[in-house]
Amino acid sequence: MTIDPTDDQSPGVQARPSTVTLRDVADAAGVSKASASRALDPAAPYVSSGLRARVLDAARRLGYRPNASARATTTGATAMVAVLVSDIRDPYNAEIVHGVIGQAGESGLVATFAGTDHAIDDEIRVVRMMRSLRPHAMILTGARSGSTVSRASLEEELARYTREGGRVVIAGDDELPFDTAVVPRRQGASDLVAALFRLGYRSPALIRPDHDSAAARQWEDGIVEAARRLGMRIGEGAVVRAPMTRDGGYGAVGRLIERGAERRDVVLAATDAMAIGAMSAMRDAGLTPGSGIGVAGFDDVVGTEDVTPALTSVDLALAKVGAAAVELALTASGAERRRIAFEPRVVLRGTTPVRLG
C-alpha cells in the first residue's frame, strides 16, 4: 500500500479523511473555482488552452475526483442508471445486466442495482429508495408477479419518478407502459417451432411456467401461433404447467408421461433450466432425449452445451437488449412509446436431430 508522506503532517493527531476539492485544484492552478470547473468540463466553451492545461495538471497531481453528489445537487440528476433486477443469479438476468454495465460504462454512467426478489411490492420499495438517488433513468428487468393493486402502485411510483424528470425503461417483456428494449420471446418461440418443423417434428408437448407472466404468455403464444400456421397439433393434454425451475421441469415430465407423452415427438420447455430438468427426468424414466423424442429449451444462457446431448435452444440477444435499454434511457423520448427489438436466433443441437419419418 502506497502512502503519500505529505499527507500525515502530525502523526499524533487523529488522521481525518481529507478529500481534494475543486477549491484545492483551483488554488493549486492559481485560478478561480469557476474557471477550474470549466477547465475540467470537456464540453465547456471559452476556456484558454493554457488555463485548461494548468488546471488539468493540478487535478492530476492532487488526485482530484469531482464529488458526484455535489455535482448532482447542482445539476439535479446523477450520471447514473438504476437497474432493478429480480434475481441476479438467474443467468437470464445476468446476461442483460452484463449488457447494461457495458453500455453504461461506455456512456460514462455508473450503473446501480437493487434486487427485488420478483415481488412487485419489493419493487415499489426499491423504486422509492432509488428515487432518492435521482438517477437519469431506471431500467426494470426480469419478470414480476403481484396483485393488480400492487401493479397500480408500482406504476404510480414510477410515474412520480418520471414527473421528476426521470426516465423509465423496460428491458424484457413488453408489459408496462414505458419505453422498452424487447426480449424477442414471441418471435423466438415461433422461429423455434418453424425450425423443428423443418427437421420433421410434428407434435410438440409444452412445459410452461405455472404463473401467468408476460414472458410465459409470449413464449406460448409464439409456439401456438407457429404451430397453427404450420398445421401442427397441440392437444389439450399436451400442455403442463410447472414452476419455472430445473425441478419444475423435472416434475412436469411425470405428468406428461401419465398423459401419454410418448405419442409426442418433441418436448418444448419455456426455459433452458426447465428443459434441462426435463431431460434428467426423461432419462430417469428410461427415455433418451434426442432419440425418439426431442427436447428444446429457451433463452440459451448457460448449460445448454453441457448436458448430453447438447440442448437445442433460442438465443435472445439478451446482452444487446441490456445495452439498448441504456441507449433508450439516454436519448430523449418524445410523446410516443418506443420499442427496440432484436432478432432471436434458433440454435439447433443434439436434442433435436433430424427426424426421419
Partner DNA sequence: CTGAAAGCGCTTACAG
Which parts of this chain interact with its own copies (CB under 8 A)? 1-4, 7, 15, 17-19, 63, 65-70, 72-73, 76, 78, 80, 87-89, 91, 94-95, 97-98, 101-102, 105, 110-115, 128-134, 152, 155-156, 158-160, 163-165, 177, 246, 276-277, 279-280, 283, 302-303, 305-308
First-to-last C-alpha distance (Å) of the chain = 70
The residue (of 26 and 224) whose beta carbon lies closer to its own copies is: 26
For residue 341, the minimal CB distance to DNA (Å) is 35
Which positions lie near DNA, rule CB under 7 A? 19, 21-23, 31-35, 37-38, 40-41, 45-48, 50-51, 66-67, 70-71, 73-76
Pick the closer one to DNA by CB: 130 or 171.
130
Smallest gap, in angstroms, from Cβ of residue 225 to its own copies? Answer: 29
**Residue 33 binding partner per list DNA, its own copies, none, with a CB distance cut-off of 5 to 8 Å that depends on partner kind:** DNA
Residue 163 touches which member of its own copies, DNA, none, C-beta under 5-8 Å by kind? its own copies
Q: Supply the DSSP string of 169-185, one letter for each residue.
A: EEEE-S-SSSEEEE--H
Looking at the DSSP bridge assignments, the partners of residue 341 are: 182
Q: Which residues contact 157 (CB under 8 A, 6 or more apart)?
A: 124, 127, 128, 131
Note whether 246 and 277 are within 8 A (CB): yes
Least separation in angstroms between CB 21 and DNA: 3
Q: Which is nearer to its own copies, 45 or 286 (CB)?
A: 286
Minimum distance between the CB of residue 48 and DNA, rounded to whole angstroms? Answer: 4
In Å, what is the CA distance from 2 to each residue of 6, 65, 73?
12, 18, 33
- Closer to DNA by Cβ: residue 91 or 135: 135
Q: How far is CA 150 from the centre of its chain?
A: 22
Select from its own copies, DNA, none the partner in contact with residue 290, using the beta carbon and a kind-dependent cut-off of 5 to 8 Å.
none
Burial class (CB in 10 A: 0-12, 13-18, 19+), 107: middle
Residue 246 binds which one of its own copies, DNA, none, with CB within 5 to 8 A depending on kind? its own copies
**Complex with DNA: residue 131 or 151, whichever CB lies closer:** 131
CA distances from 307 to 95, 173, 257, 277 (A): 20, 28, 22, 10
Residue 155 binding partner per list its own copies, DNA, none, with a CB distance cut-off of 5 to 8 Å that depends on partner kind:
its own copies
For its own copies, the closer CB: 239 or 347: 347
Rounded distance between C-alpha atoms, residue 178 and residue 186, angstroms: 19
**CB 108: neighbour CB atoms within 10 A?**
8
Distance CA 118, CA 103 (A): 24
**Least CB distance to its own copies at residue 357 (A):** 28
Q: Shortest Cβ distance from residue 232 to its own copies (Å)?
A: 28
**CB-based contact 270:298 (threshold 8 Å):** yes
Which option in its own copies, DNA, none does residue 306 bind, with CB closer than 5 to 8 A by kind?
its own copies
Distance CA 291, CA 214 (A): 33
| Helix H or strand E encompassing 315 | strand 313-315
Grid coordinates representing 282 are 426423461
Could you tell me which of 102, 88, 85 has the C-alpha nearest to residue 319?
Answer: 102
Closest contact distance (angstroms) between CB of 196 and its own copies is: 22
Q: From CA 269, how far away is CA 207, in angstroms rounded? A: 5
Tell me whether residue 32 or residue 288 sits nearer to DNA (CB atom). 32
Backbone angles phi, psi at 143, to 5 degrees: -75, 145
Q: Which does 46 bind (CB under 5 to 8 A by kind): its own copies, DNA, none?
A: DNA
Q: Which does 113 bind (CB under 5 to 8 A by kind): DNA, its own copies, none?
A: its own copies
Minimum distance, C-beta of residue 129 to DNA, in the bound complex (Å) = 14
